[in-house]
Amino acid sequence: MRKKELFHSKRDTLGGTPVFVGTRVPIASLLDYLAAGRPLDEFLDDFPTVTREQAVSLLQSAKDTLLNTAYANTAG
C-alpha cells in the first residue's frame, strides 16, 4: 500500500488532522493505543473503518521513515 493511500489531511476533516484514508480516524489514535500497551486487534475492533492492512502499512511506513532518517543522520 502506497503512503498516499494510507492517510490524508484535509482542513474540513477534523481540522486537518491526518486520518486514515476513507475514515475519520486519526492516525495518532493507532499510535496512542500501541503506546498504551493495547493490542492492534483492540484498535481494529474499536475503529472498524480502519483495515488491518492500513494499520500495518502505516506502522511499516513509520518504521521505514524513522530508520531512513536515522541512517541518513549517521552517514555524515
Nearest to 48 by CA among 20, 69, 7: 20
User: What is the Cα–Cα distance from 8 to 45, expressed in whole angstroms?
Assistant: 22
DSSP label of 11: T
pLDDT of residue 76: 59
- Provide the β-strand partners of residue 10: none
**pLDDT of 72 strictly over 90:** no
More confident residue, 44 or 1: 44
The pTM of this model reads 0.82
Q: For 28-68, what is each residue's pLDDT tens digit? A: 999 999 999 999 999 999 999 999 999 999 999 999 999 99
pLDDT band with cut points at 50, 70 and 90 for residue 6: confident
Q: What domains are there in the chain, each with its CATH number?
A: 3-74 (1.10.10.10)
